[in-house]
Structure 1
C-alpha cells in the first residue's frame, strides 16, 4: 500500500511539473486568439455499412487494432463527436516521451494502449472517460530505433493483446480480474530463440484466418508460428537493402506485406509449410527517402478494398501515388488498377495506412512531419479517391488543403472524417490550437474544429503529434495517441 501511495504521489508530481513547464513556455509567448470552437455543431449523416469481414481470431475490426482490423480500413461504426459541448481530456504518461501510437478497446469499452518511454514500454488498460490506468504491464526497453518492442499489438477474439516485447518472445496477455485489482498476466508465451538472426526485431504480429501468428521485422525477415504444431517458419526478403517498416493486412486468401521495394501476397506452401509469395509487385520509390517518412519506400500498411483489391501509397517523386492492385492470387490482365498522384509535387508523402470505405480511399499528407514534435513542418493535403465499380480505374473525388497531424478515422454513424490538427489564426502568432477536426466524408468540406489544447506546435509542445490515428470508442469519444500520452474529445449533453 505504501508503494502504491508513493507511485501516486510520483504521478501527481510529474503531472504538476508538466503543467508548470507548459505555463513557463506559454508565459514567454505573445498572446493571441486561439478559439475553442470553430464551426457549428452538426447532425449525423450516416453512411452505408462497409461489409468488412472480421478476422475470426481477432476482436471486432473497429476495436481490435490501431488500423481497424486485419483489412486496415481505419473506419468505425461507432459515432464520433458532433461538436456539441465538446470536452477534452489529456492523459500524460510522460511530459518528455510517452508515445501512445496504438489504441484499441476491450469488450467492456475500456481503452488498451501502450506508452513508449525511454525507460521501457508499458501496456495500459485505461478508463475510457477519465483515462486513468486500471492495469499496467511493464515491458523491457527496446534497444533498436524501429517500431519493434510491443508498440504494435492486436486484440485476439478473447480480448487478449498479442505482442512481441524486446525480450525475444511473443506474448499473449490476458486481464486477471479475480483479485482486488485487475492485472495483466501472461497467458501464452513463445520463445524466438534461434528462429531468426540477432537483430530481427518483430514490430507487428497478427493471426491469419487459421490462427497462425504471422510477424514482420525491420531487417527484412518475416514468417509465422504454426498454430497446430507450434513450429516457426520464416522468409528473408531477397533484394539488397529490402526491409519491412510497416504493418500488414490479412484476408481469407493470404497475407499482404509491403517492403521498401515491393508489395506481396504470401501464403503457406502446402508441402513445406514455409511462407511463399504468390505474387510480387514492385512499385516506384523515388531516388531518396522523403522528409516525414520512416524509410525509403512506401509508408503505408496495405489496405484491402472489397474482396478483390489492395491499395498502398508509393514513395515516388515528385508526387507520391495511391496505387491500387488486384489482390487475388489468380487474375486476368494487368494487376495494377490505377496509379493516382496526390498532393503538391515535391511536397508529397504519406507515412500511414489508407482509409477505405467501400470503394473510396482517403489519404493525408505527411511530407515534412517531424516525429520528435514539430507540427510546423508538415505539408497540407487530404484527398479522396474512388475506385470505379468496374475496376477500370480510379478518380479523384475531392481534395482538401487541410493540414493533418494524424491518420483520420471515419465514423459511418456520423458520416464524418476525424483528424487531429494544429492551427494558428495568423502565421505570425506564437500560439496555436490542437483541434479535433471533422470533415464531411462525401464532400471534403470542413465542418468544425474543437480545441484539445493550446501550444506552440514546436519541439517542446506536450500535445505534439506522432501521426497516430484518431480512434473512435464505443462511448462516442474520439481518442488520439500523442507524444506525451493520450487525448480524448467527447460531446457532453
Structure 2
C-alpha cells in the first residue's frame, strides 16, 4: 500500500483585523513533558506524547492576522520545531518520495527553498507521516525499509546546513515483509514504541534491542500511538483500543483490550474502516487519567472515555449529531474536557489501498464540533457548533483559544471552495474570528495537523506546502 502522503500528492489538482478571543478559564493540566521528546508542544504532530492536541504555547490570536505561504510543491502533514530548527516531513507531487526538509523558523531567505533536505525510503499505509523530534532535536522515524532512523542536522565548514542519519536500527527481523510502521512514540524510559499497519506492536530499547507482540489477525493500525508518564502506551486498531506496557523483561505486554463499535463500513471522510482517532490521554490531575477515541458506529458516533490502567469505560457519549457523524481526527483532550471535530464527507482525493469502499460513497461535508466534559460518574455534552474544520484543531492553554482552518463554501464541496483561519472559544464553542485565506485548492489542509510555534505563529501543512499565520 502506498503512503497516504503519496496518494494525496498524486491527486493534487493544477494548481481585516477581527476581535480578540475571549479569555478562557484555566485549561489543564497537560501531562508532564516526556524527557525523551523535544520541546513540549512542538515535538510531535499532536503536541505531546499523549496526543492531547493541546499546547502550552500561545497562538497568534485573532487581531492583526497576516498570512503567508511557503510553497514546497509537496503535501506536508508533519511540522515540528526543536530548540533551533523547524522540520517538515513532506511528499512531493513529482516523485512522491517522502522528504525531510530543514527550514528556517523565521522563513527568511528565498521563498520555497529549504535549508537542507533528505529523501527517505517510501513506506506503506501511514508510514512517513508520523514522526517526532527527540531530546537531541533529531527526527525519529521508521522508513519504508523498516529501519528506525534518527536524523540530525548540522552545519559544514562552509556554513551550509545538512541533514544526516545519526543512527539507524534495522527492524526487518521483527516487522514482516510487506508491513510498515504507522505510528511511533517514546515512553518515559526511553523505549521507542511502534505499531505497524498489520498490528504488530513493538519497542526498541535505548540499547537498540527490539521486541514485539502481535495483536489479533485482521486488525489494522491506521493512526498513530500515544504514551503516558505511567509507562503505558495506547494503540487503536480498526477493531479495539489497547493499552500496553513493557514487562519486567523489557518486552511489550497487553494490559487490556476494549472493542468498540466499528460500524458496518468505512464512512466518507475517513481513511479506514474503524476509529479515525489517535488515542488521546488527558485528565484533571496527572493529565493522563483518561484515554479517549471516537468510535465508527453507524448513524451516531460516540466519544469513548476509558480509565487508563484498567480500561474501565467511564462513558460513551454521543457526539457530532449534525449532517452525518464521523471523525478522522484525534480529539483534543485537556483537563476534564475533550473536543471532537467532524470530518464526515470531507473530500479526500483518494484513500489508501485496502481501506474498502465508503458507505455511502460520498456525502456533504457539513462539519461540526462537540465539547464533552468528563467526571468520575460519566460525561455530558457542553456545546455543539457548526464549524467546518478542515484541519486538526489545536487548543492553546496559554490564550484559551482553539485554532483551526475551516472550509468555506457549500456543503457539496468543490475545488473552488475557499478556506479561512478560524479561532473558536472553547468555553462556548462560538467562532471568535474567521480570516479568509487567499487560495482555494492549493490551501487545502486535508485534515492535517498544524504547529503552534514559540513565537506565536501557526504553521499549517497543505497539499502544496505550508501556510504561515502570524
Question: Same-fold call, TM > 0.5?
Answer: yes
Equivalent of residue 37 in structure 2, options 58, 61, 64: 58
The match for 1:135 is 116
The match for 2:316 is 339
How far the C-alpha of 1:38 sits from its partner, in A, is 7.8
Q: Secondary structure at the match of 2:42?
A: helix
CA shift digits 1:391-447 (9 cap, x unpaired)? 100111111011110111111222111111121399999954311100111111101
Residues 162 and 171 of structure 1 are in contact (CA less than 8 Å); yes or no, is this contact kept in structure 2? yes
The match for 2:359 is none
The match for 1:155 is 133
Equivalent of residue 83 in structure 2, options 72, 96, 107: 107
The match for 2:50 is 71
Q: Structure 2 matches for 1:359-374, cutoff 5 A?
A: 359-372=336-349
The match for 1:242 is 219
2:463, 2:364 → 1: CA distance? 16
Q: Structure 2 matches for 1:348-359, cutoff 5 A?
A: 348-359=325-336
2:243, 2:411 → 1: CA distance? 48
Distance 1:101 1:235, change over 3 A: same
The match for 1:454 is 439
Equivalent of residue 456 in structure 2, options 440, 452, 476: 476
The match for 1:13 is none
Q: Secondary structure at the match of 1:325?
A: strand
CA shift digits 1:366-410 (9 cap, x unpaired)? 11112228999423110110102xx10011111101111011111
Q: Structure 2 matches for 1:196-345, cutoff 5 A?
A: 196-228=175-207, 230-238=208-216, 240-251=217-228, 252-271=230-249, 273-306=250-283, 307-329=288-310, 335-344=312-321
How far the C-alpha of 1:313 sits from its partner, in A, is 0.5
Across the aligned residues of Structure 1 and Structure 2, the Cα RMSD in angstroms comes to: 2.5
The match for 1:400 is 385
Equivalent of residue 169 in structure 2, options 190, 202, 215: 190
1:394, 1:443 → 2: CA distance? 17
Residues 23 and 399 of structure 2 are in contact (CA less than 8 Å); yes or no, is this contact kept in structure 1? yes
Q: Secondary structure at the match of 1:102?
A: strand
Residues 43 and 82 of structure 1 are in contact (CA less than 8 Å); yes or no, is this contact kept in structure 2? no
1:289, 1:427 → 2: CA distance? 20
Q: Secondary structure at the match of 2:450?
A: strand
Distance 1:73 1:426, change over 3 A: closer
Higher mean Cα deviation, 48-57 or 200-209? Answer: 48-57
Q: Structure 2 matches for 1:85-100, cutoff 5 A?
A: 85-94=64-73, 98-100=74-76
1:326, 1:489 → 2: CA distance? 37
1:415, 1:323 → 2: CA distance? 24
2:76, 2:388 → 1: CA distance? 21
CA shift digits 1:87-125 (9 cap, x unpaired)? 11122221xxx11111111113x4211111343011112
Residues 76 and 409 of structure 1 are in contact (CA less than 8 Å); yes or no, is this contact kept in structure 2? yes
The match for 1:175 is 153
2:269, 2:450 → 1: CA distance? 19
Distance 1:444 1:231, change over 3 A: same
Distance 1:81 1:223, change over 3 A: same
Q: Secondary structure at the match of 2:427?
A: coil
Residues 291 and 369 of structure 1 are in contact (CA less than 8 Å); yes or no, is this contact kept in structure 2? yes
How far the C-alpha of 1:345 sits from its partner, in A, is 6.4
Higher mean Cα deviation, 81-90 or 209-218? Answer: 81-90
Matched, 1:487 2:445: no
Moved over 4 A (4+): 41-46, 373-377, 425-432
State the number of aligned residues. 437
Matched, 1:415 2:400: yes
**Greater radius of gyration (CA):** 1
Matched, 1:125 2:102: yes
1:169, 1:58 → 2: CA distance? 19
CA shift digits 1:45-86 (9 cap, x unpaired)? 574452421111111330111101111111112221223221
Q: Secondary structure at the match of 1:462?
A: helix
Unaligned runs of 5+ in 1: 1-17, 23-36, 456-460
Distance 1:259 1:83, change over 3 A: same
CA shift digits 1:295-337 (9 cap, x unpaired)? 11111011111242111111111111100001114x8xxx100
Unaligned runs of 5+ in 2: 1-11, 352-361
1:269, 1:175 → 2: CA distance? 35
Q: As a proportion of its length, which structure holds more helix?
A: 1
Residues 344 and 363 of structure 2 are in contact (CA less than 8 Å); yes or no, is this contact kept in structure 1? no
